[in-house]
Structure formats: C-alpha cells, structure tokens
C-alpha cells in the first residue's frame, strides 16, 4: 500500500520516457470499406500466459494497435493450462478482463472468447462472444458446445488441416462436428491458420456454408513470428453494418468475411469481389495524345501487394500482362484499345485471391474516359 504514490510516479515516468508513440507504421494493416459495410480487421485466435502463450494480455493489445486491427479475441485453452504451477486457480475470464482494461483508451474492440480443446476427431474450436468462459469448461465436449450456444457464441473450427490432428493434411468433418453444425453450434472454419491456407478447409466452408476465418493463433510474439520475418499476421476481414460488437457478431453469423494473409485473399465470391474492387482505385483515365492508347492510373489502397493478370481482349503497352501493384502504390496501365472509346471495362484476375479451391477472383472496373 505504501508504494502506491511512488509507483504511480514510477509508471508515469516510464511512459514519459519510453516515448512509445504507437502510430500507423509500416506494419499497419489497411483494407477499404465495401459498399454498405465497414471492413473490420480482426484476429480472433490468440493466446497469453493464461493458457499456453508467453505474454501478458497487455502485449496482445499493443501488438493489435501496432498492426492497426479493429478487433481481437484472446482465446485461451480452457483445458490446457501449462502455467498452472504459477497461475494456480485461473478464472478463465481474466485474460479478457485485463485486455479490456488495457484497450479502454484505444479504438480496439476486445471480444470475449475461449478455445474448447479436444483431440481429433473433435479437434480445437474457438467460441467467441461468450459471457462466462468458466461455464464452458466441461468434461464432455458436447456440453461445452451446448453452453457456448446458450451464451450466444459464434464458434469456429481451428486449423482443420493441422497434421497433428489430420495426418494427411486433408481434413474431413467428423460426425461430432456434423451434429454441431446441424444443432447450430458450429458456424465457422479456419481456412488460414498461422501461415497455412488449406484449400480443403475452403472446400468444407463452401460445402457446409461455414464462415471463412483467418487467424494468427499467436503464442509467442507477433514481432518474432510475423513482423520480423517480413510477413503480416493472418486476419479475418469482417464486413459489418456498424463498428460495434453486435454488428461484428451479426456479420460473422451471416458469413460476411474474407481471410487475408499477406497477398493471399480467401473468401466467398460475393465478399471477395467487392473488397478487391474497392482495393484498387482508378485515379484517372485518358488517351495518350494522338494515339489509341488509354492511360489508366490505379492505386492499391490496401496493405497487401495485389498480383493481377490482364483478362481483357486488349493488350498493354509498357506493362506485362501479369503484374503486381505493391501495397499503397500507384501504377499506370496503358491499354491499347485500338480505337478511342468513351468507356472501357477493365477486367483483371486477382491471381492470389481465391473464391473456391483453384478458382481465382475476376474483377471488372467500369472506366469512364476523361
């Protein structure tokens, strides 16, 4: 007690001198809104010392702010508690509570979540938008899912292709999971986990109308596993009507997501195509003097490099038909339209954007010539 005044000074001082200006940095993720929706950048699968992670929850908040996320969830394993010797009687809600307090002065939503952890064939699942994690801790997996549903949780299957649980890397739905889906107790599936995009998981998502998810599943530091390797953490972009937890939850149940990992985008066609359309902004379009060559300037407003291929009948002047527009950069395409036109449809395939296994998104932009 007697330390109180002192330590307030202590902390104030550290803050003063650490000069930790958290601002939008080169690692900040950026994606545009789409017509009718706000695009929320989320990472809904993370761990701290409250299960098998290696950091206090405050670090997860700091990482999220540096990465410019809108939403995180700390999904501690309910059952797996390797730090039990030091954190002996864990209230499973603590990780959430600490993060919530840390984030209170920032524009970052903390969603209450937990990981229900079982061996195959049940596997690992995250339940988010829960009310009390302690109540979800049950011996029977079935009871855990039942309680999650009771709390109104959105539940998704983690890393289905993980070979410790799926030795060939080719996941199949178990009877247990089929029943959960039927009962409205399982709603999503990770299609990207850590660095792994599993085409088979995408197939399962489409076949069973599950929400497509991408997560970092971070245990150590985002700086070591991602940033320091020159890559971004995987995220789920959620297209919400408003910037609120309720809207986020509605959007997840409605399946309005795209999973993103660096330049890789995975989503249902109806969500991925509008996202890419909004991601590439036409700055200007005019004919080069005395030619039938249309000069179109495009800006990639996302933090992901966009890898594109010409799908028009017209060819390009001074650009390969396959080209990259790096994150945040502008490129000029010179389209040989053979004669001058008032408007042209620019059609590009996004080579690293999947709407189904092996099927890439094709996007049109209507260009009015100036």
- Which one of 36, 168, 343, 366 is in contact with its own copies (CB under 8 A)? 168
- Report the nearest approach of its own copies to the CB of residue 248 (Å): 27
283 binds its own copies (CB under 8 A): no
- 62 in contact with its own copies (CB under 8 A): yes
Residues, the chain: 370
CA distance 211 to 316: 38
Instruction: Report the residue from 264, 282, 356, 362 that binds its own copies according to the rule CB under 8 A.
Output: 264
Q: For residue 285, what are its two tokens?
A: 């379009």
Find tokens 């899912």 and name the residue: 145
26 contributes a contact to its own copies by CB under 8 A: no
DSSP state of 227: G
User: Applying CB under 8 A, which of residues 13, 183, 209, 244 lies at the interface with its own copies?
Assistant: 13
Pick from 139, 161, 138: nearest CA to 151: 138
197 sits near its own copies (criterion: CB under 8 A):
yes
Burial class (CB in 10 A: 0-12, 13-18, 19+), 279: buried
Q: Which stretch binds its own copies (CB under 8 A): 10-18, 36-44, 145-153, 246-254?
A: 10-18
Q: Using the rule CB under 8 A, which residue among 44, 72, 116, 198 binds its own copies?
A: 198
Which range, of 82-90, 107-115, 181-189, 276-284, touches its own copies by CB under 8 A?
82-90
Q: Which of residues 293-352 bind its own copies (CB under 8 A)?
A: 293, 307, 309, 315, 317-322, 334, 336, 338-339, 351-352
CB 77 within 8 A of CB 118: no
Answer for which of 135, 138, 142, 219 binds its own copies (CB under 8 A) is 219
68 binds its own copies (CB under 8 A): no
Q: Which stretch binds its own copies (CB under 8 A): 174-182, 189-197, 236-244, 245-253?
A: 189-197
Q: Which residues contact 23 (CB under 8 A, 6 or more apart)?
A: none
d(CA 158, CA 22): 31
Selected from 45, 67, 75, 90, the binder of its own copies by CB under 8 A is 90
- Cβ closer to its own copies: 39 or 216? 216
- Cβ proximity to its own copies: between 7 and 36 the closer is 7
**Which one of 33, 174, 247, 292 is in contact with its own copies (CB under 8 A)?**
292
Which residue number, 284 or 336, has a Cβ lying nearer to its own copies?
A: 336
Virtual torsion, Cα 72, 78, 82, 87, nearest 10 deg: 80
Asked whether 302 and 342 are in contact (CB, 8 A), the reply is: no
Indicate the residue among 22 and 183 with the shorter CB distance to its own copies. Answer: 22
Alpha helices (H) in 67-171, listed in sequence order: 94-102, 141-150
The candidate with the shortest Cα–Cα distance to 218, out of 40, 14, 76, 118, is 76
Nearest-angstrom CA–CA distance, 238 and 252: 7
Q: Name which of residues 125 to 154 contact its own copies (CB under 8 A).
A: none
Neighbours of 246 (CB within 10 A): 11
Report residue 69 as tokens: 């996320």
Q: SS3 for 327?
A: coil
**Residue 347: beta bridge partners?**
364
The region of 81-89, 108-116, 181-189, 208-216 touching its own copies under the rule CB under 8 A is 81-89
- Output 10 or 150, the one with its CB closest to its own copies: 10
Instruction: Give the separation between CA 310 and CA 289, rounded to whole angstroms.
Output: 23
Determine, following the binding rule CB under 8 A, whether residue 15 of this chain makes contact with its own copies. no
194 binds its own copies (CB under 8 A): yes
Q: How far is the CB of 150 from its own copies (least distance, A)?
A: 25
User: Of 28-36, 104-112, 244-252, 289-297, which segment contacts its own copies by CB under 8 A?
Assistant: 289-297
């Amino acid at each position: 007690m007697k330390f109180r005044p002192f330590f307030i000074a202590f902390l104030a001082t550290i803050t003063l001198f650490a000069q930790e200006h958290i601002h939008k940095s080169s690692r900040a993720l950026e994606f545009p809104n789409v017509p009718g929706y706000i695009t929320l950048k989320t990472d809904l699968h993370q761990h701290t010392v409250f299960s098998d992670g290696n950091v206090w929850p405050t670090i997860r908040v700091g990482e999220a702010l540096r990465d410019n996320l809108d939403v995180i969830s700390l999904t501690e394993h309910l059952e797996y508690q390797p730090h039990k010797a030091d954190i002996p009687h864990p209230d499973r809600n603590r990780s959430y509570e600490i993060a919530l307090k840390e984030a209170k002065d920032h524009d970052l939503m903390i969603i209450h979540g937990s990981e229900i952890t079982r061996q195959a064939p049940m596997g690992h699942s995250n339940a988010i938008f829960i009310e009390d994690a302690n109540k979800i801790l049950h011996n029977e997996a079935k009871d855990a899912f039942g309680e999650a549903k009771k709390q109104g949780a959105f539940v998704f299957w983690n890393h289905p292709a993980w070979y410790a649980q799926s030795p060939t890397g080719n996941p199949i739905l178990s009877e247990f999971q089929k029943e959960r889906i039927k009962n409205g107790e399982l709603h999503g599936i990770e299609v990207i986990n850590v660095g792994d995009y599993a085409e088979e998981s995408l197939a399962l998502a489409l076949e069973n109308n599950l929400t497509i998810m991408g997560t970092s599943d971070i245990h150590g530091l985002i700086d070591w596993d991602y940033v320091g390797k020159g890559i971004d953490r995987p995220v789920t972009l959620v297209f919400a009507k408003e910037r609120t937890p309720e809207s986020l939850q509605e959007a997840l149940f409605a399946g309005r997501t795209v999973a993103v990992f660096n330049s890789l985008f995975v989503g249902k066609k109806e969500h991925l195509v509008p996202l890419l359309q909004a991601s590439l902004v036409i700055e200007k379009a005019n004919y080069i003097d005395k030619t039938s060559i249309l000069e179109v300037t495009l800006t990639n407003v996302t933090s992901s490099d966009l890898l594109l291929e010409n799908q028009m009948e017209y060819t390009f002047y001074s650009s390969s038909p396959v080209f990259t527009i790096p994150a945040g950069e502008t490129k000029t395409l010179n389209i040989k339209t053979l004669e001058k036109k008032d408007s042209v449809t620019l059609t590009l395939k996004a080579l690293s954007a999947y709407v189904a296994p092996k099927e890439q998104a094709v996007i049109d932009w209507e260009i009015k010539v100036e």
